[in-house]
Each structure stands twice: as structure tokens, then as C-alpha cells.
Amino acid sequence: MTGFSAGVFAIVITLLVIELQVPDHAPGELLHALFEQAAAYLAFLLSFGYVGVLWLNHHTLLRLIRGTTLGLNWINLWLLLGVVIIPFPTSVLAEAFAHAGTDRDRRVAVLFYALVAAAMSAPWLAFFAYLRRHPMLLGEGIGRAFVSSQRIRPVVGMALYLIGGALGWFVSPVIGLVGIGVMIFFHAVTSEGVRRGRSRLRTTT
């Protein structure tokens, strides 16, 4: 499961950067053409950070379990389905915020991105619920209390992504996009993978 999942994350990260194209431009207009693609760069950075946080959490979670089952593999595939979809709403977002996009296009794009991000919280809930029902899969020193505590973050994430999407649709697409960015930052700060990485650094210095 670990090797296959890592490969999927690596491919998705690569697909994100492939979307960045050298712009067509007249002689002497390269700088202007690059600035015109600013929306694509921002969409890439947003999704790169999102996929990076997802990978950190996923990688850490798989290290906390000692085995897998067919049921857990299906849930993992469900989670990876959401991961491989990310380049699509990223492209939609970049296109909508380009100069050709209208305000309505931007509202739709932000709402679409937020809905995809919110939907991706569902397999995490299923993952933790499955592990709670099958504690024999948990590694040494990992109990049901830890699994139960981890179920809070996907619920919070789902709610806040939906709020970000609603802000983007009803208030302003820029405000909605900022809200989504803040949510990704929240996931990064509270990430179990990041916290465990910091703990290892403190113990080795």
C-alpha cells in the first residue's frame, strides 16, 4: 500500500507542474506574458501545498499501522481517487482567474475547488473509523483514543472548505480562495506528519 500510494502522490505532483506552460509571446514581451500567467502559478502553489500536506498525513498514517486488509485498501483507493482529481480543479481555477475569466467563472471555479477539497475529507473519516473498529491493525503504542482524536480534523476541514466555497460564491472569489489557502495552512500546521517530523528534529538536535 505504501509504495503504490507514494507513486500516486508523485505522479500527481508531476501533473501539477506539467500544467505550467511557456507562454506564447511577441519578441520583447516575455516578462508581460509570464505575469499574465500569474493565476496559473498561484493555483499550482495552492495545490502543491495541498497535495504536500495530504502526502505528509498519509505517509505518517501508514507508518502508524502494522498491516492492512482488503477493506482498508479500498478506503485507501477512495482517498487516492480524490488525490488524482486535484490537477483538474487546479486547471479550472487557473483558467478562471486568467484575464479571459469572468467574475462568475471565478466564483464557479472557487466553489468547485472547495467542493472537491471538502469531498476529500470523507475517505479520511472512513479511514479512521475503520482503524477504530480494527485496532489490531494499529502499531505499538497507538490506541483507539489517538484514532478518535484524528477524526476531528477531517470534519473541521470539510466544514471550513465548504465555508470557503460559499464565500467564493456569495461574497467574493478572491476571499473564498484566501479562505481555502488558510484552510490548507491550518492542515499544514496541525498535520500529524509535520508534528512528528518536528519531534524527531528536536530529539536529534
Report pLDDT for 197. Answer: 47
Report pLDDT for 168. Answer: 96
Nearest Cα residue to 59 out of 124, 5, 13: 5
Residue 201 has pLDDT above 70, yes or no: no
Tens digit of each residue's pLDDT (9 = 90 or more) over 11-51? 999 999 888 888 888 888 888 888 888 888 999 999 999 99
Cell numbers 505550467: residue: 20
Higher-pLDDT residue of 86, 201: 86
pLDDT band at 200 (very low <50, low <70, confident <90, very high): very low
Tens digit of each residue's pLDDT (9 = 90 or more) over 48-79? 999 999 999 899 889 889 889 999 999 999 99
Assess contact for 100 and 77: CB atoms under 8 A: no
- Determine the residue type at 199: S
Three cell numbers written together for 30: 516575455
Residue 193 has pLDDT above 60, yes or no: no
- State the total domains in the chain: 1
Report pLDDT for 70. Answer: 95
**Cα–Cα distance measured from residue 67 to residue 148, given in angstroms and rounded to the nearest whole number:** 19
Q: What are phi and psi of 185, to 5 degrees?
A: -65, -40
Assess contact for 139 and 66: CB atoms under 8 A: yes
Three cell numbers written together for 181: 489557502
Report pLDDT for 110. Answer: 96
Domain that holds residue 161: 2-204
**Cα–Cα distance measured from residue 44 to residue 89, given in angstroms and rounded to the nearest whole number:** 11
Report pLDDT for 192. Answer: 60
% pLDDT > 90, the chain = 54
Q: How far is CA 97 from CA 102, 168, 183, in A?
A: 8, 12, 20
Tens digit of each residue's pLDDT (9 = 90 or more) over 120-147? 999 999 999 999 999 899 888 887 788 8
Report pLDDT for 37. Answer: 85
Three cell numbers written together for 166: 460559499
Report pLDDT for 176. Answer: 95
Instruction: Tell me the pLDDT of the chain averaged across its residues.
Output: 87
Mean pLDDT of 86-94: 95
Q: How far is CA 96 from CA 46, 119, 173, 197, in A?
A: 15, 21, 10, 37
**Cα–Cα distance measured from residue 16 to residue 68, given in angstroms and rounded to the nearest whole number:** 30
pLDDT band at 112 (very low <50, low <70, confident <90, very high): very high
Report pLDDT for 169. Answer: 97
